[in-house]
């Protein structure tokens, strides 16, 4: 009798979980389908539905042809979760062709592990299954690392909360389940284990749905701005995470204090605070005599930035661009100019410079005579004179 009750509870939890995930999918697609993060979030929710079905006791024991879509969506879903995490945390994230290729390989691996149940393919299927499980753990850990690595630099308070709840909880759950599968040898779950799995899924799904519904879309799902080729030169090309935009500011009832905004701009533009080595939000907040959360809100709402490094890089790139356009500094190495502007190495400087100006530092130095440096500063960097 007890296993029957556990099975009923199991199926009820899974049915409720799929209803919640269906709601999340519909809301994300309806409101945020133009955003990469919105599309990846909807795709991940569909993949979790596939996982819910695929882990029902007995579902994959004798797979039929109609099981293939469910198995494929389940097998590749951790890669989708990693892409969702990156799109959610990186405003400038774009999908690549190799992402689709990697997803295809994972789905093929999942199909092989389920349909190759007889020798001689069984041994290969077991090996591929273990590799797929290990890749799931790696992708889950990468997702958690993605959330933690740029957490302090994130200026969007709503997204900072989402990082911890959505990414860490989902990634942690995935690691536990994948590790359990490895330790158990990939055998079928017991009725109790399956019910516990369903309860964990339901809890994580409800938490994710609650967080997504309470945070405004502008905080999480930004739509990349398209720049018309005829309307801008390469130097006018903007990067979504570096260019301030009023439409992407965090929504708040408290308007930024213009006096504090002016003071912050003075520290950066007049006192060149951005040149300080390893300048952090904590150090700048101490200089401003403000709590860190208020400084984040000030930069986000008052100046339109979503990332602290992007905020610093606009000043640093403007500083470097002036030096590169100065004929008197033509013999100074690019690395020296980058270090003087506050960058710690050449790689990040090159990436930030090209993201803002559309040119590499060397190209800019060579072609600066054809570019109006004040136009570049005003159009791309957005720093008040």
Q: Output the DSSP codes for 232-268.
A: --GGG---TTTS--GGGSPP-SSPPPHHHHHHHHHHH
Domains and CATH numbers, the chain: 2-220 (1.20.1070), 234-381 (1.10.10.60)
Q: Pick from 193, 134, 175: which is nearest to 126 by CA?
A: 134
Query: So what's the pLDDT on residue 148?
Result: 82
Residues of the chain with confidence (pLDDT) below 70: 1-3, 60, 117-121, 167, 179-195, 213, 215-219, 224-254, 369-385
Query: So what's the pLDDT on residue 99?
Result: 96
Query: So what's the pLDDT on residue 112?
Result: 84
Residue 61 phi, psi dihedral angles, 5° rounding: -70, -45
Residue 83 phi, psi dihedral angles, 5° rounding: -65, -40
- DSSP secondary structure code for residue 58 in this structure: T
**Residue 341 contacts by C-beta under 8 Å, 6 or more apart in sequence?**
274, 275, 316, 317, 319, 320, 323, 349
**Residue 232 contacts by C-beta under 8 Å, 6 or more apart in sequence?**
379
Question: How many other CB atoms sit within 10 Å of the CB of residue 276?
Answer: 14
How many alpha carbons fall within 13 Å on the CB side of residue 66?
2
Query: So what's the pLDDT on residue 9?
Result: 80
**Residue 288 contacts by C-beta under 8 Å, 6 or more apart in sequence?**
260, 263, 264, 267, 295
Query: So what's the pLDDT on residue 291?
Result: 93
Q: Is pTM, for the whole model, over 0.85?
A: no
pLDDT by residue (tens digit) across 56-86? 877 767 777 788 899 899 899 989 999 998 9
The pair of structure tokens assigned to 260 is 């504090």
pLDDT by residue (tens digit) across 257-297? 889 999 999 999 899 999 988 889 999 999 999 999 999 99
């Amino acid at each position: 009798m007890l296993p029957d009750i556990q099975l009923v509870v199991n199926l009820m939890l899974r049915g409720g979980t799929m209803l919640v995930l269906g709601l999340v999918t519909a809301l994300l697609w309806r409101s945020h389908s133009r955003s990469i993060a919105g599309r990846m979030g909807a795709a991940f929710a569909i993949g979790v539905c596939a996982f819910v079905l695929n882990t029902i006791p007995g579902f994959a024991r004798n797979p039929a042809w109609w099981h293939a879509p469910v198995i494929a969506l389940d097998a590749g879903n951790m890669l989708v979760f990693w892409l969702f995490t990156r799109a959610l945390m990186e405003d400038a994230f774009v999908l690549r062709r190799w992402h689709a290729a990697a997803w295809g390989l994972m789905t093929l691996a999942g199909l092989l592990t389920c349909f190759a149940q007889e020798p001689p393919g069984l041994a290969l299927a077991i090996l591929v299954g273990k590799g797929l499980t290990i890749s799931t753990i790696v992708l889950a850990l990468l997702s958690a690392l993605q959330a933690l690595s740029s957490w302090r630099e994130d200026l969007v308070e709503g997204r900072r909360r989402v990082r911890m709840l959505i990414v860490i909880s989902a990634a942690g759950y995935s690691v536990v389940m994948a590790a359990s599968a490895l330790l158990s040898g990939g055998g079928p779950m017991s009725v109790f284990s399956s019910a516990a799995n369903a309860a964990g899924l339901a809890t994580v799904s409800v938490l994710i749905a609650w967080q997504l519904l309470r945070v405004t879309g502008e905080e999480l799902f930004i739509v990349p701005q398209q720049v018309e080729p005829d309307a801008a030169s390469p130097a006018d090309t903007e990067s979504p995470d570096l260019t301030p935009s009023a439409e992407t500011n965090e929504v708040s009832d408290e308007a930024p204090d213009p006096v504090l905004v002016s003071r912050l701009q003075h520290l950066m533009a007049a006192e060149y605070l951005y040149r300080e080595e390893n300048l952090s939000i904590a150090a700048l907040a101490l200089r401003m005599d403000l709590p860190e959360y208020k400084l984040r809100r000030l930069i986000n709402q008052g100046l339109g930035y979503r990332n602290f490094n992007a905020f610093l890089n606009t000043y640093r790139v403007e500083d470097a661009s002036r030096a590169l356009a100065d004929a008197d500094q033509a013999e100074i190495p690019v690395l020296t100019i980058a270090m003087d502007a506050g960058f710690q190495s050449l790689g990040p400087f090159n990436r930030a410079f090209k993201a803002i100006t559309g040119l590499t530092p060397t190209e800019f130095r060579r072609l600066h005579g054809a570019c109006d440096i004040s136009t570049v500063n005003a159009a791309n960097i957005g720093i008040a004179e």
